[in-house]
Amino acid sequence: ILFLTAIQGGSGGKWQTPHQQAKLASIRGRGVIEPGDVGIWATCARGQEGKATVELRSLLHKFAEQFYGIVGEAEEEDEDEDGDEDEDDLDIESAIRKEAAAIEDKKEKPKLFSTARLDIECVLFVKVRPPIDPVDFVHRICKEVASKPDTARTKYINRLTPMTMIGRATEKGLEEVGKTVLEEYFELAGDKTMESSDDNGEIAKEEKSERTSYSYAIRPTIRNHNTLNRDVVIKQIASSIGDVHKVNLTKPDKVILVEIYQTICGMSVVGDDWEALKRFNLAELSKPIPKATVEADAKA
C-alpha cells in the first residue's frame, strides 16, 4: 500500500509520494561526506566540475558493468526543490503508478555511486557502495585505460584516488582510520603473532610473515585544512606500523594514500604499480605514445 503525504517547505504544501520525498531528501543530503564513507576522489579541469561530474558518473557505471557485470541505478540529477511542474500536476492515481514503477526499477538496479558537492575547485568525491571495492575498482580502471587509451579517454577527469575508509581529520580520527585500513597489509606497532601448535596456526604464521615483509611509502594530500600538516600525518602513520616494515620512497611494495579535506580524512593502500600507472591519472595514461618512442622501441 502506498501512502501520499502533504509536506510543507520546498514542495509548497503540494502532495508528494514517499518516493518523491525520499528523492528530495537524497538531493538535499548528497553533499555530505561522513566518517565511515567509502569512495573515490577525482580531480578535474578548473571550472569544469559540472561536466566532470557527468563524465565521472558515466565512466564509473561503464566499468562497473564491464568488470563486475553490475548495472547500477543512474544517479538522479539535481533539481529545484519544488520539483518538475509535470510531477506536481500529476493526479494522485498517476503519482502512485509512477512511484510503483520506480520502486520496481530500483529493486533490479542497485545505486552504486553518489556524488558529493564540495566547495573546492577541481575536486570531486563519489561515494561507492558494496560490492565494489574502490581500490580494486580504480586499479582496474587505470590498467584498462593504460592498455586501451582510445576506449576510455576522458576530457575533464584527471586523477582518481580510492578511499577505503573516511574518518575525522583529527589525530584520533587518523589513528582510527589507519588501524582499520592498514591492518590488512601491515603488522601494526604492538601487534603480536598468535602462537599455535596446530597446522592452521602454522599456516597463519607463515601468511602473516609474508604479509609483513612489505615496504611502504606514505603520500598525503591536504586541502582546506590547517590542523594536521604533512609531517604530522606521515609521522603518526609511520609510528603505527611495525618495525618489520621498512620505508622505501623510490620502489615501495605498498603506497599509503592519505587525503585530508576540511574536517574529514581518508586512507587507502595501493600496490607497487601506482607510479607506473601515473599515480592513477587517467589523463596521463590516455596520452598517445610519442612517435619517437614508438620508433625507438621498434628498433630495440
SS3 readout for the chain: CCCCEECCCCCCCCEECHHHHHHHHHHHHCCCCCCCCCEEEEEECCCCHHHHHHHHHHHHHHHHHHHHCCCCCCCCCCCCCCCCHHHHCCCHHHHHHHHHHHHHHHHHCCCCEEEECCCCCCEEEEEECCCCCHHHHHHHHHHHHHHCHHHCCCCCEEEEEEECEEEECCHHHHHHHHHHHHCCCCCECCCCCCCCCCHHHHHHHHHHHHHCCCCEEEEEEEECCCCCCHHHHHHHHHHHECCCCCECCCCCCEEEEEEEECCEEEEEEECCCCCCCHHHEHHHHCCCCCHHHHHHHHHC
- Spell out the domain ranges in the chain: 31-75+86-299
Question: What is the structure's pLDDT at 190?
Answer: 80
Picking from 18-22, 40-44, 236-240, which range would have the lowest pLDDT averaged per residue?
18-22
Mean pLDDT of 219-237: 97
Retrieve residue 63's grid coordinates: 566499468
Residues with Cβ < 8 Å from 259, sequence gap 6 or more?
41, 161, 163, 220, 221, 223, 265, 266, 267
pLDDT at 1 over 50: no
Per-residue pLDDT band for 2 (boundaries 50, 70, 90) equals very low
Percent of the chain with pLDDT over 70: 66
Per-residue pLDDT band for 200 (boundaries 50, 70, 90) equals low
Level-2 CATH architecture, domain 31-75+86-299: 2-Layer Sandwich (3.30)
- R_g over Cα of the chain: 23
pLDDT at 28 over 50: no
Q: Are 135 and 266 in contact (CB under 8 A)?
A: no
Distance, CA of 129 to chain centre: 9
Retrieve residue 148's grid coordinates: 586501451
pTM of the model: 0.74
Mean pLDDT across the chain: 80
Q: How many CB atoms lie within 10 A of CB 20?
A: 23
